[in-house]
Amino acid sequence: MKLTVNWLREYVDCALEPKAIADRLTMLGLEVDAVEPLHAGLDRVVVARIEEVTPHPDADRLVLCQANIGTEVVPVVCGAPNARAGLLSALALPGAKLPGGEIRRSKIRGQVSAGMFCSGKDLGIGADNDGIVELPAGMTPGVDIRVALGLADTMIEIDLTPNRPDCASVVGIAREIAGATGGRLLRERLPAPPALAAHGLPFTVVVEDGDACPRYMARLIRDVRVGPSPAWLRNRLQAVGLRPISNVVDITNYVLLTLGQPLHAFDFDRLAGGIVVRRAHPGERITTLDGVARELTPEMLLICDQVQPMAVAGVMGGGASEVSDATVNVLLESAHFNPVSIRKTSRALRLSTDSSYRFERGVDPALPPVAMEMAVRLIHELCGGVVCSGGYDLGGDTIAPPPPIILRRRRVCDLLGVQLSAERIAELLNSIEITTTVDDAENMTVQPPSFRIDIEREVDCIEEIARLVGYDAIPVTLPRVPMSFAPVDAGRSLAAAVSGIMTANGFWEAVNYSFVSPAHCDILKLAAEDAARATLPLLNPIAENQAVMRSLLLPGLLENTARNINYQQYDVRLYETGKVFVNRGEELPEETRMLAAVLSGRRNPDTPLLYDQGEKVDFFDCKGVVDALVAELRLQEVTYGCDRPAAHADPDQFCRVLLDNVEVGCFGRLLPAVAQAYGIKQDLWFIEINLDALQAGRAATPIFRELPRFPSVSRDVALVIADEVRGDEVIRAVTEMRQKLVEDVQIFDVYRGKPVADGYKSLGIAIRYRSPEKTLDEATVDKVHDKIIQTVLSRFSGRLREE
Amino acid sequence: MLEQLQKLREEALAALGTARGREALEEFRIRYLGRKSGFISLMRGIGSLPEAERPLAGAEANRIRTELEGLLAEKLQEAGAQGQGRRVTVDSSLPGRTRPLGHVHPVTRVMGEICAVFEGLGFTVAEGPDVELDFYNFEALNIPAHHPARDMHDTFYVKPGVLLRTHTSPMQIRAMQASKPPLRMIAPGKVYRCDSDITHTPMFHQVEGFLVDERVSFSELKGVLRVFVSRIFEEDVAIRFRPSFFPFTEPSAEVDIACVICGGKGCRVCKGSGWLEILGAGMIDPEVFKSVGYDAERCSGFAFGLGVERITMLKYGINDIRLFYENDLRFLKQF
């Protein structure tokens, strides 16, 4: 909602500066978005009198004027036909910022010009461009042109909340300002409507749908001269961003903005036999004022003549009865429509107008006669129309006042936390024309005015009181509530623990959109039966690459990786914890919290170059992260399976993570072809873990074990065994012997190549022995160690490596 | 004997005072503390003293010896530091050998800070589904179909009646349906609106909070949010509540803080107003209580919702919301 301060002051007695008015409005809940002085660029344009005109020595069509600007007389070159001695006009001095550009001191064909005389168009205040502005005699040279022409004004733009359609009008805002400042609402400026009788009129009005159209007024104005509006009206409309069209249309817009009541003017002679307010017939069409042919559906309310639709009620008029320069007789409509009906129609037609905006939020049903009267008076004044006495007002007598509300003082004080007397409450409400009857010290009856469709309940009145007291005047206290123990959300704390482990391992957290391109499933070559293919599409995505809810986190991280590599960030370690969504048809989708991570580039990306050996990450860096998660989260019974490859992973470097033999995730090297598809040309390893599935497998509180009291003894041995024997088989072969003294078994070296024969490898094993009861002697250890080695060698048909 | 020991000590201290350099100090050691030094022979003599004098003399001898050894060690260290010997010193200006360490996303970090403030005030934390029913997102929050307030939410739909939540407020309904007052809870999470430009992304994060009990007042809402703002921003940052409209609260408020960029003088970020809007709040509307079967006469409560990105941007001076979702390491590594 835009209005100007001068316009506002026509309806409220308020001397505050524009900025102060804006601050008051904001603190009343009418948030001001902008305060703009109008015609700010005209600050260097003044009234000037041409003292003398002489021909330009070097140009036939130019003259040289001596312009009196009060303090001095300056030379101005001018080409206007009406430049003459004695004329008072508007002179733009150097520095003036006109709509056409900034004025500079210049030489025109050798003659100095200290400014430019302006036409109405030059100043941006009219279309007149035939000559320079002719000001009435008696104006003082040197005066700011905005003051001289009454253009000095300030535009205020308010971001209205949907509950306040009453403030979509100058008078509505004036009422609020009056209430907040103690100023007076200048009611007498609003015309008093006469009683209307419908007999003897040359047209009929029939309302077929009284629910959708509770009130319909129509009056006829004859012998109207359609033409441009006077400057004051054009300026007002332009100031709030409306384009002047013609006097009749401008008047309807002016009344709409002043009062908040949408009006519509029909060319009476193009209506066949009067008005019928009815729902559209199936298949009916109308071409609206914007030139668009629109299909109508039977739920849309129309204003028709006896033959065809003439307007979409409360939304937009039709071209067939549009007021034009040829119009002589005008039928003016001022009506009240059902908000839901208008909103549905406006939505269905994708057509929102100043009229539909107000109707769908709720216009004061008592307003049509006031608006009608204001408009017919203006049409009479500005367009010379003859207003036919009488008119229709269908439904006006059936509109009941809103039901009264019982307001309890105690409730007000309790809900706001502020002490107010019944008198004070009444005073506050009365200040914005809400009438009250104080029943006793604790109770009062509130009569909501018809223009406040948002006040229906006690709590609505309390909000008004809070607003008027001022939120800043309400004290600041803390709640007194019983102590309670807040349970911890296990999912959240797991995600936080995972974040801690990932960041400690050098990963940066990424956050990606929950919606992705549907193409990822194919790019990742997911199997047809993969659950992640059951994506959930959006009905109204904003882009094709955000069309489905993500069923995997990996694609987002791969796109992030590609982007980072593009920006020369080659060492990428990113992780994300977040939900994925799997479509379950009729039910809400399954939302599962996942972890995904990618690692690529150097092993020690943030290590100073001095120590960086340039090693790249490999499979075991990736596995190490999973190992860290398993250890830190105390996951029990985790195994890694590599028997079933995944379509998007390198089959030689891929493991599934099993918790109690149930798959909870996987990790491995991304298939180079898939990486390429994401624009990644370097090796990349990924991890995907279902966090929700981990909850069950987490061990409870750790149980303390006594610290060892006796020293350990270590023995290393190098075994030559067949290449296909996996490391963990050898370890397991040792641990499964259940030798009590064995404390730890580790592989410390894997070697293939000479002198080890082809098809074999040398495996270095370190075994640590310890007894809880005594310091071990060599002989005891040797005995156990030899037994273990012999068992392992015979199990895998190996031999000791000779040094 | 004690006299002799004392005399020897004084002599030794004087010698040590004049000894310069490692060689002189070595000489001193041999002369006063070495095997053949007078001091050692004196100590050997202690054994031949009468039994009554022995402990005292022994203790004194040991004290002096420890003292001299300590002083000598200090001197030796000094001599070393002066570069007398060939010692290798590190160039301490070279970088340390750091291990790579990552961080959480700035939005996660600020979300954690926000949650921590409310957890400290005893609020429970709970999360709801991102894909939500129209009932929870709108209907039960007093936003019926065809209500103009729906224009405030550009909604992504999955199918009729099922949508991506446009705010975290549905958790109010889910929580109130699940338990009776008193309740105090915050619900952090992702929310979605079909809107995308320099200040809007189609997904962003909110934290919803609410408290329901008997006779909860607007002044308590002000108190809780004052605490919150002081913890997240400066302790004494100016804060103002101004009336606004949300269908599920009445009275409703928007909360502004003095612009953290210009301190309230007016700048580009606060559009010259000196204030920055950081959250919406209000007293829970009785219609909301009715929709969950609470007695609106018996209970009251407040609710608030804040945008995490906005607060993060203000906190760190980030000027483009889209940076949060590009996951550019050059951005992430700044936090």
User: 10 Å Cβ neighbour count for B102?
Assistant: 20
* pLDDT at A58 > cutoff 90: no
Radius of gyration of chain A (CA): 42
Residue with tokens 């100058």: A170
Helices (H) and strands (E) in chain B, counts: 11, 10
Judging contacts by C-beta atoms under 8 Å, the chain A residues touching residue B129 are: 588, 591
**Site from A159, A455, A471 to mutate, B interface, most B CB atoms within 10 angstroms:** A471
Could you tell me if A255 and A237 are in contact, meaning their C-beta atoms sit under 8 angstroms apart? no
> Cβ A505–B102 below 8 Å, yes or no?
yes
Average pLDDT over residues A139-151: 88
Find residue A716's DSSP bridge partners: A766
From chain B residues 134-173, the ones with a CB under 8 A of any chain A CB are: 146-149, 151-152, 156-159, 162, 164
Confidence band (pLDDT; 50, 70, 90) for A404?
Answer: very high
Confidence band (pLDDT; 50, 70, 90) for B284?
Answer: very high
Nearest to A477 among B223, B242, B285 (CB): B223
- Is residue B18 classed exposed, middle or buried when 0-12, 13-18 and 19+ CB atoms within 10 A define those classes? exposed
**Closest CA of chain A from B138, distance in Å:** 15
Give long-range contacts, CB 8 A cutoff, 24+ apart: A346-351.
A346/A315, A348/A297, A348/A299, A348/A300, A349/A294, A349/A300, A349/A312, A349/A315, A351/A288, A351/A290, A351/A294, A351/A312, A351/A315, A351/A316
Q: What percent of chain A has pLDDT over 90?
A: 77
> Cβ B251–A589 below 8 Å, yes or no?
no
**Closest CA of chain A from B214, distance in Å:** 9
Could you tell me if A788 and A767 are in contact, meaning their C-beta atoms sit under 8 angstroms apart? yes
Decide if the complex's ipTM is over 0.90.
no
**Closest CA of chain B from A360, distance in Å:** 7
Find residue A387's DSSP bridge partners: A221
> Cβ A513–B202 below 8 Å, yes or no?
yes
Angle at A647 between CA A641 and CA A650, to 5 degrees: 65
Helices (H) and strands (E) in chain A, counts: 20, 41
Average pLDDT over residues A29-58: 90
pLDDT in tens, A530-540: 899 999 999 99
For residues A456 and B308, give the distance between their C-alpha atoms in angstroms, rounded to a whole number.
Answer: 34
Could you tell me if A457 and B233 are in contact, meaning their C-beta atoms sit under 8 angstroms apart? no
For residues A331 and A385, give the distance between their C-alpha atoms in angstroms, rounded to a whole number.
Answer: 11
Nearest to B130 among A460, A574, A579 (CB): A579
pLDDT in tens, A597-609: 999 999 988 888 8
For residues B267 and B162, give the distance between their C-alpha atoms in angstroms, rounded to a whole number.
Answer: 41
**Site from A406, A511, A542 to mutate, B interface, most B CB atoms within 10 angstroms:** A511
Any A CB within 8 A of B44 CB: no
Which chain B residue shows the shortest CA-CA distance from A542?
A: B194
DSSP A473-523: GS----------PPPP-HHHHHHHHHHHHHHHTTPEE----SEE-TTHHHH
- Please report the pLDDT score of residue B245 as a whole number: 94
**Closest CA of chain A from B243, distance in Å:** 4
Average pLDDT over residues B233-238: 87
Nearest to B152 among A28, A162, A344 (CB): A162
> Cβ A463–B217 below 8 Å, yes or no?
no
For residues A705 and A641, give the distance between their C-alpha atoms in angstroms, rounded to a whole number.
Answer: 31
pLDDT in tens, A508-558: 999 999 999 999 999 999 988 889 999 999 999 999 999 999 999 999 999
DSSP class of residue A193 equals P
pLDDT averaged over every residue in chain A = 92
3-state secondary structure at position A272: coil
Which chain A residue shows the shortest CA-CA distance from B162?
A: A588
Amino acid at residue number A405:
I
Q: Which residues have CB under 8 Å from A225's CB, separation 6+?
A: A383, A384, A385
> Cβ B100–A588 below 8 Å, yes or no?
no
> Cβ B104–A163 below 8 Å, yes or no?
no
Nearest to B244 among A29, A556, A608 (CB): A29
As a dihedral over the C-alpha atoms of residue A630, residue A632, residue A636, residue A642, rounded to 10 degrees, the angle is 10
Confidence band (pLDDT; 50, 70, 90) for B197?
Answer: confident
Nearest CA to A214 among A387, A61, A49, A397? Answer: A397
Q: Mapped to the 3 state alphabet, what secondary structure does A514-534 carry? A: CEECCCHHHHCCCCCCCHHHC
**Site from B110, B237, B245, B318 to mutate, A interface, most A CB atoms within 10 angstroms:** B245
- Please report the pLDDT score of residue B151 as a whole number: 72
Judging contacts by C-beta atoms under 8 Å, the chain B residues touching residue A549 are: 131, 158, 164
Which chain A residue shows the shortest CA-CA distance from B272?
A: A34
Judging contacts by C-beta atoms under 8 Å, the chain A residues touching residue B193 are: none
Half-sphere exposure of B286 (CA within 13 A, CB side): 13
Q: How many residues does chain B have?
A: 335
Could you tell me if A115 and A107 are in contact, meaning their C-beta atoms sit under 8 angstroms apart? no
For residues B137 and B157, give the distance between their C-alpha atoms in angstroms, rounded to a whole number.
Answer: 12
| Residue pairs between chains A and B whose CB atoms are closer than 8 Å | 249
pTM of the predicted model as reported, rounded to 2 decimal places: 0.83
Could you tell me if A340 and B148 are in contact, meaning their C-beta atoms sit under 8 angstroms apart? no
Q: Which residues have CB under 8 Å from B20's CB, separation 6+?
A: none
Confidence band (pLDDT; 50, 70, 90) for B57?
Answer: confident
**Closest CA of chain B from A164, distance in Å:** 9
Nearest to B203 among A417, A467, A513 (CB): A513
Any A CB within 8 A of B224 CB: yes
A418-432, A756-770, B70-84, B310-324: segment of lowest average pLDDT? B70-84
From chain B residues 87-126, the ones with a CB under 8 A of any chain A CB are: 94-105, 107-108, 112, 119, 122-126
Q: Which residues have CB under 8 Å from A717's CB, separation 6+?
A: A764, A765, A767, A785, A789, A800
